[in-house]
Amino acid sequence: MRVLLVVALLCGCSDTVAQVITRRDDAPSQLFAPNHPWTTSIAGAAVDPRSAAMIAALEAAGGWGTSNRFRIDFGAEVLTVAPDTPFREFTPNSDFYDDCDRVPFPLPIGGALADETGYRCTTGGDCFLLALDPARRVLYEMYRASFDGTTFTGGCAVVWDLQKTYGPYLRGKGCSSAEGGGLPLTPLLATADEVDAGAVAHALHLGLPNNRLRRGIYVSPGSHSSPLTSAGPDGIPYGARFRLKASFDHTRIASPRARVLTRAMQEYGLFVASSGSVPLAVRSDRSTKIKWSALGVDASTLEVLTPADFEVLSLGEPVDWLADTTCRRAP
């Protein structure tokens, strides 16, 4: 795997450090071709005129999930496809839609689904199957996968071409993905290795409960919504981008390493990509060199973050998915 050494200077805080960062081409910031939204700095981007109203509505609805605590989900794992990795046909389940990709999916030996110890979905959770093929430059993402050794079933499955520059609505207007908002999941997952190295150079993954999400609405780079969303006109649409305010005092975060995450929230923000009760999703440390516990980062490390610490960036043109659920695949 290609490794590049770059020097990063982390500024604007009392624990400023200069250090050498190892960047790998399987890091989230390196996955897709350049110039995708999640690797674009938004430090100086405009705030939406209705940001304050949307934040107020979020707070009135109960704030973040998990009793308004900004908790972290460590369940998602990204597997690596090797030359000998078996590919299997799967049978679509009720979470598979017409615009999803019905192709053989890889099951790397010794791998596991999100929040599982193997490939069988036992928890009733999202059970994401995420697999990166570095040789072919392809990313496989599947929702609600399950394989019991004989039967392989799956929900919405998407094959992302990592050499392609996707347009403003990614796979196309109205098109779903393994995520409710139509975005890819993997490039939004911070890793323990990135945090240890001192920089997360991409946007992060934000999930909100359905009653905080604007009913049926998405904005670019989102491309999809859900009939389960129910918030009013000040609700947050799928695809919206949050940014931690520049005035945020990073010393409110007890773990110095965890402050790498809050700096990323200021530089790259967070995309509202899914519904859920745990706001922030990061990558499991099952296959990373560094473990989250060694960084002083656990599920409650960022609980001091409140909706009022954030602003919503300019949304652009809202799209009413409920008015037209047709997927129009982009070229």
pLDDT value of position 316: 95
Burial zone of 6 (CB within 10 Å; 0-12 exposed, 13-18 middle, 19+ buried): exposed
Which residues have CB under 8 Å from 154's CB, separation 6+?
90, 91, 92, 93, 96, 105, 129, 142, 143, 144, 145, 146
User: Which pLDDT band, with edges at 50, 70 and 90, does 16 fall under?
Assistant: very low
pLDDT at 100 over 90: yes
C-alpha 124: how far from chain center: 20
Q: What is the 3-state secondary structure (H, E, C) of 12-27?
A: CCCCCEEEEEEEECCC
For the chain, domain boundaries: 3-323
193-241 tens-digit pLDDT: 999 999 999 999 999 999 999 999 999 999 999 999 999 999 999 999 9
Q: What is the pLDDT of residues 236-285, one digit of tens each?
A: 999 999 999 999 999 999 999 999 999 999 999 999 999 999 999 999 99
- Between the CA of residue 91 and those of 88, 105, 146, 151, 245, what are the distances in Å? 10, 11, 10, 8, 45
Nearest to 222 by CA among 170, 265, 148, 144: 170
Residues with Cβ < 8 Å from 59, sequence gap 6 or more? 306, 307, 308
Provide the pairing of β-strand 280-283 with 213-218.
unpaired
